[in-house]
Structure 1
Amino acid sequence: MGTKWSAAPWGTALTLVTVMAATAAPAAAHGQAPDRARLAQRVVLTNADNGRSVTASLGDDVEVRLTGYRKDGLTWTWSTPASSDSTVLRRTAGRTAPNGDASATFRVEHDGTATITAQRHCRPDAGHLCPLMITPWKVTVEVK
């Protein structure tokens, strides 16, 4: 009888080594260790974040979600959030909704500091009057 050889264990081991080398190669080609690559983050800000300061990094997205409200025939609506410095925080999306909500997304482009602002104002129903007031919303974003 002849001897039978099985290549399965060696073939599997070689495949694992090949896969491991292939996944480490892209990071090593860019001069980075595979475990040190940083993924972009998303910072989400809401009504409650008014007056805060936050830190972000290059490539991050900062999302603002402001909620309007309706009471006693008055709708309190937000303006579309805006950046004080579009070279630091570039707005990539922004909208307002009929119910008073507003949202925007900003991409962190450069080091520095920028503020994101919006204003809430009143829209009255027929037969109602709004108080003469505007409520500001502001968050400072420091990019490091």
Structure 2
Amino acid sequence: MVGTKWSATPWGMALSLVAVMAATAAPAAAQAHGQAPGRARPAQRAVLTNSDNGRSVTAALGDDVEVRLTGYRENGLTWTWSAPTSSDSTVLRRTAGRTAPNGDASAVFHAVHDGTATITAQRRCRPSAGHVCPMVVTPWKVTVEVK
């Protein structure tokens, strides 16, 4: 019995020491990366739609900005969006983007550097057979400041 007691104690002390070292190293690592201890912020995702045209938004490094633009069909005309693009991929890097046959477009941008970038897209008309489109291009624009 005595042998068991003495052999278990060193292991218990070693495990306690490892736990204490890990608990004190995490805040130090967070401070080294510009974060306050215990204040690690998970990445956020802002979702922008047609109605956000003209807005300015702020994002933090590591955040994602998702754009979901909705096209529509009316009187034999389909109003389609181009895939959203970033004016500065060193600030906002596009990680996904697509357009759909119904006129919708979407994209995801990742905030990779401090600065300001503009996300833009254009809506154009696509006529059905026997219809004529007006010569109109509607711009969509959001300014994103990454801090």
Q: Same fold (TM over 0.5)?
A: yes
- Unaligned stretches of 5+ in structure 1? 1-16
State the match for 2:26 in structure 1. 27
Residue of structure 2 equivalent to 1:124: 127
Determine whether 1:81 maps to 2:84.
yes
Q: Structure 1 residues 32-41 or 61-70, which shifts more?
A: 32-41
Amino acid at match of 2:64: D
Percent identity among equivalent residues? 76
Shift in Å, 1:38: 1.2
SS at match of 2:26: helix
| CA RMSD between the two structures | 2.1
TM superposition score normalised by structure 2:
0.80
Cα 1:26–1:91 change in 2 (3 A) is farther
Number of positions where the alignment pairs a residue of Structure 1 with one of Structure 2: 128
**Counterparts in 2 of 1:127 and 1:63: CA distance versus 1, 3 Å:** same
Mark the CA change 1:25 to 1:132 in structure 2 (over 3 Å): closer, same or farther: same
Counterpart residue number, 2:139: 136
Task: Compute the TM-score of the two structures, normalised by the length of structure 1.
Answer: 0.81
Give the SS at the match of 1:35: coil
Q: 1:66 aligns with which of 44, 48, 69?
A: 69
Paired residue type of 1:78: W
Q: Which residue of 2 aligns with 1:93?
A: 96
